[in-house]
Each structure stands twice: as structure tokens, then as C-alpha cells.
Structure 1
Amino acid sequence: MPPRLDYSRQCAELEKIARLEPRPAAPSDPAAGLAAPSPAATCLVCDAGPARPCDRCGGVAYCGDEHRRLDLRWHAPVCPALRAIADDLAFFAAHARPWLEARLLARAGRTAALPTSWDAWLGPDLAPVERRCLSDLATRPLTLAHLLGLLSEHVPKDISNPTAIHVIAAAQRERDVSPALWRELERLHPDRRFAITLIGPELAPGDLGPGVRAVTALYRRDLWPALGRPDLVIGYDCGLLLYPTWKPTMHDLRGSGVPFALTSYRAWEAAGEARLLRAIGAEPLLAPTPNPFASLSARRSSTLANDLAHDNAFMSAWR
């Protein structure tokens, strides 16, 4: 995991983000304070320790009130979300993944109709922390199910052959999705069967269960003879703007006749990816739009203490 930037560089990056994605004004919050000093904590601003964690979220620490107040502009808007992240991590630690998946599938079994929101799929009566955590487990298959509904006229359907899905830039988070969750696709799209191939350069290969396999590779069109021609390609939060290795992949997919979908953490990221894809001649099938099946459990930046995002927050589709 990359180390956190020093505080001045964190602030510079947050200023850039704020221009692209304005945050609410930091509230005046005299009731906020600091917990007792922790020998494991250092001040976010000056790196001195031991420091005192924020007594509401515990997610950042300061040497004293002066530096807490200095950072208030950046910390106050995300403090509740950092508290929620801590609660979510504790919930995941307290419950075995098989139990969580069984709980998730029991809730999901309430309806066979293609859902349009987490409430429609999970029901509205879950505790907030459980709702967030279950959404995080299911965001990838449910995002795919939602996209298949939106792109049904572009994705071939043949009940005698499975719909072939290639998941590009797949990593451990995709590999951790159990086959039972991927099989929700067949319950939500009963007129299809599915063959899902996860492809990523650092992915451990193997058959993961019925209709799901993992392949170690950078995704290129010349893999199709071995993997089979896909009916849909999807990349979850693959960072198209960050990595130059995406250029040949996008050129391969553009104009191939196979639709491909991307998800992004932020609106401005999705918009930037759209500009890039239009520039190379990709045809938009779905303009960047908020995803109703984004994870409700936020992910914290490893380099910016007061920055966070949600998996699969925006989605788009191209050909």
C-alpha cells in the first residue's frame, strides 16, 4: 500500500478534488474533540506522536486542538463517513464471510424481478451497518445485472449458449465474490446462462466454481481465441485515466462489436474516461451515470487521510 503523502501535499490534492467535486462547507463544531493520546497515533498535520485521535471517528489524530482546527475544513465533511468505515470494518471482522453471504442471499431471495435499487433487492429494514456491508459484497454482480438490463439490446442472448462476460482488470476483490453471488445473475436474468471469466495481471488463476474462472493476463483482444469471444466486457473501477497499459486494450475493444462497460469512483473520473474514449472513436451506449448499485460502504484513500470513495459509484458503456 502506498504511504500517505505529507500534509501539505495532501491538502494540495484535496484542493484539486474540491474543484472537481465540491464538498459541503465544514461546519462549526465546538462539540468535537480529541480522545486520549495513543502511542500508535501520530498527528496528521505535523507527524508528532503520540497524538490524540478524533473522538468521533478515530480515523485521524492530532497533536492538539490547534492542528485539529487547522484540518477542520477537510476533516469535518468526511468525519461521519470515517466513523461508518470503522463500524463496517468491525462488522466484517465480527461475522464470517459465509454467514454474511447466506444472509445476503436470503434477503435477495425476496424477489425475482430485476431490482432497481438496494432497497428493492435487500429490503429497507436492515440496520445501516449491515446494509452497507451487504451492498459491498454484492456491488459487482448487482452492477452487472443492472447493466445487462440497460444494455439488453446490445448483448446477444442465446439460451443454448451462456452469455460470456469478461471482467477485465480483475483483482482480489473480484476473485472474492463467491460463485453463489455471481449466480444471482441467472436468477435476475432467467432467460440467460452465464460464463464469467476474470482476467487480471496479478490474479491467481483457477476455476472458482460453476461458470466462473480466473485467468492471469493483461487483457488484450488476442486472448479471445483462447478465452472465447465475449458478449460483454466490464471493468470495475479500473482507473482508465491512471495507467498507460489501458491504451492498447481500449483500442482493441473500440470498434470490435463487443460492448464494454466501465465503473468509476467519481463523477469527474467517469467524465474524463468518457472524453478519452470518445477521442479514440468509441461509440457511447450509456453515458456516465450514477450507479444505483454502488457500494454503500466507503473505501478510504491510502494516500489522503480525509478522502474516500465508493466502489462502482458511476458507470458507462461503449462499443
Structure 2
Amino acid sequence: METSATMQKETRPVTAGAAKRKGGTGAADIVIHLVLALLALATVLPFYNVFLMSFSNTVAVSKQMVYLVPTVIDLSAYHYIFQEPRFLKAVLVTLFVTVVGTTVNMGVTLTGAYVLSKTGYPGRRAVMALIIFTMFFNGGLIPYYLTMKNLHLINNLLVMVLPVAVNTFYLMICIAFFRTIPAALEESAKIDGANDIQVLARVILPVAKPMIATIGLFYAVDRWNEWWNGVLFMTNVNLLPLQALLRELLTNYAQVLSSINANVSLQNTDLHPEMLKMAVVVVSALPIACLYPFLQKYFEKGVMIGSIKG
């Protein structure tokens, strides 16, 4: 009984002090949350403004006025984009490039990084030197075009997949991550009779889920935004990716407006160029942005790769 009373007496002052400290921490948390809320608002507001301007009335857009809610809803910019006969084909092309391209990217990057992360393979240093060399030097546009032509990749969807099969920077990140995995995992698997492919598929990759999700998201965004190779190597307009088609629509509309009459006010047209620009941004960015919520839990861990070990 005496022991219990003594413990209660000793606990009460500590609890009161902890409560006091907790109150001070709570006030600091409020300030921190307010600052973070303001930063989040400053980050989200430009995206919201872009989305709002994509279907706001032409007068508000022409004056560059920002409203919390649109005064007049005008969907003419989206109608102009979606009525393009090649729009659906461009979406399918971009989906093919994104799915197939990301799969090829991850396959080449993960297998290459796993091999190069091992120090016992002969010629590893020479291969690493050649890979790093490509980060600083390239052959130029004309040799690049001639190479694709000799490989018969002109007007071939694989021209947007194979030449960009691996990103050197992402490969280096994967190599650095694989080196942090304890060697005991691989050794125990090999003792059980697993070969290198089985070790990679059943031991290494399950441990590397955050890294795979992060690099996969980066690759998917790169492939979704593919337009340069499409413009450069696709003479068939039906094989243009979505980003290249949207760029063409925006350029053609600006040329049409300038050829009608330079003295005519843009407010008198049915579709303001700024509305079309914002609609192009929304159509091109919204689908790939929808992937982020599904990968967020892995992405938060993956962005810390290389900064914390252990």
C-alpha cells in the first residue's frame, strides 16, 4: 500500500508537467499546421485556377481575373478538343506507350540495376563508366534520327518505347537502393537453392516495393508526356500521341485566329486561346495525376531512398 501511494505521489507531478508541456506542444502544432495549410493553399490555388479558367467565360479569362467559382460555365474549349476525330486514337496511342513503355522501363532498369549493384561481376566498372558517359554526352539529333530510320522505327509505336527503355538517373537510384539490402537475404535464398532470377523476383523485389512504386510512377509520367519522339518520327498523323495532338490543336487554333483578322478582338471569338491552353493542361495532366492516390503510401517511402539508411 505504501508503495502504491508513493508511486501515485511521484506520478502526479510528472503527469502535471507532461500536461503542461503537452499544452505548449499543442500551440506549436497549431502554428505549424496553419503554416502548412497556407503552403498547401498556395500550391493548390494555381492548379485550381487553371481548372477554373478552362471552362470560365471568355471575358473573365481575357481579363485574367481569378474567381473562387466560375461566373459563366463555357465548355467550348473541351468541345473543341474532344470533337477532334483523332482524339480517341491519340489517347489509345498514349495508353499503349504508357503501359508498354513503363513495363519495358521497369524490366530493363530493375534487372540492370540488380546486376550492376553486385561487385563481383567482371567488366562492371567499364559498363558503369559507359552508362554514366551517356548522362553527359549524346550523338545529336541527326545521328539519332538516322539510327531510328535504319532500325525501321519510323511510324512505329515502338520508337516511343525502345529508345527510352532506361533512364540513367533512375537506374543509378535503383543501384543505390539494391546496395542497401542486406546480403544475408540473398545468401539465405541461394542456400535454399534459388538462382539469381528467383532471388530477384521473390526476395529483392518484395523488399523494394516503395522504390519500385516511385520509379514506376516517374517512368509512367515520362511515357504519358511523350511527344517529342512522336513529332519527330510519326509522319502518319493517326499515330501521334495525345500530347503531340494537343500541341497541334493549340498551334493550329492560334494560326487560325491570326489569319482571320489581326484587328478582331479575341473577346469576340467563341473560344479564347487562354481557355484552350488551360483545357489542354487539364486534359493532359488529369489522367496521370489520378494514379498518385493509389501509389501515395509507397511514394512517401520511396522519395526517401538514399537519404536514410537502416
Query: Do the structures match in fold with TM over 0.5?
Result: no
TM-score (normalised: structure 1): 0.25
Structure with bigger strand share is: 1
TM-score w.r.t. the length of structure 2 is 0.25
Q: Which of structures 1 and 2 has the larger relative contact order (alpha carbons within 8 angstroms, sep 6+)? A: 2
